[in-house]
Amino acid sequence: MELLDVSLVNWSRGQFALTAMYHWIFVPLTLGVGVVMAIMETLYYKTGKEEWKKATKFWMTLFGVNFACGVATGIILEFQFGTNWSNYSWFVGDIFGAPLAIEGMLAFFLEATFISIMFFGWKKVSKGFHLASTWLVMLGATFSALWILVANAWMQHPIGMEFNPDTARNEMVDFWAILLSPVALNKFAHTVLSGWVLGALFVVGVSAWFILKKRELDFALRSIKIGAVFGVVSSILIIATGDGSAYHVAQKQPMKLAAMEGLYEGKEGANIVAMGLLNPEKQYDNDEETFIVKMDVPIPKLLSLLGYRDADAFVPGIKDIIEGYTLSDGTVVPSFAEKQASGKKAIQALNDYREAKAAGNDSLAVTHKAVLDENFKNFGYGYLEKPVDLIPNVALVFYSFHIMVALGMLFLVIFMAVWFLHWKKKLENVRWLLWGSLFTIPLGYLATQLGWVVAEVGRQPWAIQDVLPVQAAVSSVSTGSVQLTFFLFLALFTALLIAEIRIMVKQIQKGPGSE
């Protein structure tokens, strides 16, 4: 694999980020609103009250509009692995392609089979079969997220594979290790729960609008109660999975954790910065004493506790990761220079192996393969040139992480306040909370996007952690063609988003009485 022009790498990354971020506008709402409408239909099935059927059909309409847009952007996203990231697809396609293939064959067809019954089968099938169809559509959407997130988690923590030097490809040797990886399971739970939180915000916010307009009050109060309860439960669960995420990042991606907390100098009993501003002059190798300046509000020892389940554990900073460090249990982690040398040795051993095989010298090939196997864990470092290549955009990761966490706490407070005031039958009189709930919907979208910024920018420069950097993963295409398609996709996705917003706003304005 040959390193390509930096501008091509950046434009390819930009195009993929553009597609992924637009796609993720639609996906979390599908996951969240889908559960709400399924809960409401379950209540209709159990009580027989037409009010629940009316609410279900309203949220189902909004779900359908959003679902269609998510499918359209998702297909384009998957195509980009072949068009823009062909080296990546060649190198790990045997592994990465499997979850995506299962997603298409199992999850997508499950959705496609039952979605028509869900929308058009109200008078054609029994109530029980229709309810089952609704839950199966929701299950299909969640399964779709599962397989995609398994693939993404494998990029963060590659396991269950073996490198074949004859084909220069990684091959799957343990499917269940990939599927049941703790990183994958936690990522799936945390990401789906973020969709649930957004769905709850959407339901609460739209319902608040009806209350403010004094329209469809019975529908709005039923919906806002379900949305608030669902939001509280989802918010509490997402805190638990957030703890799991911090632990796995500390174990598998320490550079990402250091960037999330702006930690340059490692320390025992490391604090978490509840809030703070970054010193823009700080670099990993200069003499600035601290990275956090102004408004530095630490929570003592919490970073060590979350990352290593030990309040006094050593947490490496960016400088430690580059220069090498020793963990509290005595494990010695090599420096960047040592890993780089090991990676170059692996790359050279691969070339030597292939030459020996071509010459028919099997005994020499075995020797080179042994060197390759010994050093393959650092294979990707051989493509990096200097220590700073290992450092992601610290400011972007730091602020994204802290804003995301702050918004998550805000959402929990709003859900609890709405739930409490609804229980006290005082919600209609607290107009500032109703307006706040409505205007919090965009913040829900912001929080989900920031979560992906932390996950993806935080693991740079890696396409696959420690194995393949992005500059070795792109296709050999012209920068101009990537730029052209970037702006074409930007125009297309923006038009699609505007169309979706207009349709959904009109449907909301019509209210739950319209079909």
Average pLDDT, the chain: 90
Phi, psi of 459 (to 5 degrees): -95, 0
State the DSSP string of 364-415: HHHHHHHHHHHHGGGGGGGG--SGGGG---HHHHHHHHHHHHHHHHHHHHHH
Which residue has 């930009």 as its token pair? Answer: 14
CA distance 365 to 386: 30
Higher-pLDDT residue of 275 and 450 is 450
Higher-pLDDT residue of 275 and 317 is 317
Give residue-wise pLDDT tens across range 186-197. 999 999 999 999
CA distance 29 to 203: 10
Higher-pLDDT residue of 374 and 102 is 374
Cβ neighbours of residue 191 under 8 Å, at least 6 residues apart? 145, 149, 451
Q: Which residues of 85-99 are buried (b: 16+ CB within 10 A; e: fewer)?
A: bbbbbbbbbbbbebb
Closest CA to 12 of 67, 96, 88: 88
Q: What percent of the chain has pLDDT over 90?
A: 68
pLDDT at residue 2, as a whole number: 43
Give residue-wise pLDDT tens across range 197-211. 999 999 999 999 999
Give residue-wise pLDDT tens across range 432-479. 999 999 999 999 999 999 999 999 999 999 999 999 999 888 888 888
CA distance 438 to 345: 57
Which residues is 273 bridged to in the sheet? 298
Q: What percent of the chain has pLDDT over 70?
A: 97
* pLDDT at residue 239 tops 90: yes
Q: How large is the average pLDDT for residues 212-231?
A: 95
* pLDDT at residue 93 tops 90: no
Q: Is 293 helix (H, G, I), strand (E, B) or coil?
A: strand
Identify each DSSP E strand in 395-480 by its residue range. 462-464, 468-469
Phi, psi of 274 (to 5 degrees): -65, -40
Cβ neighbours of residue 393 under 8 Å, at least 6 residues apart? 259, 457, 460
Q: How confident is the model at residue 513 (pLDDT cuts 50, 70, 90)?
A: confident
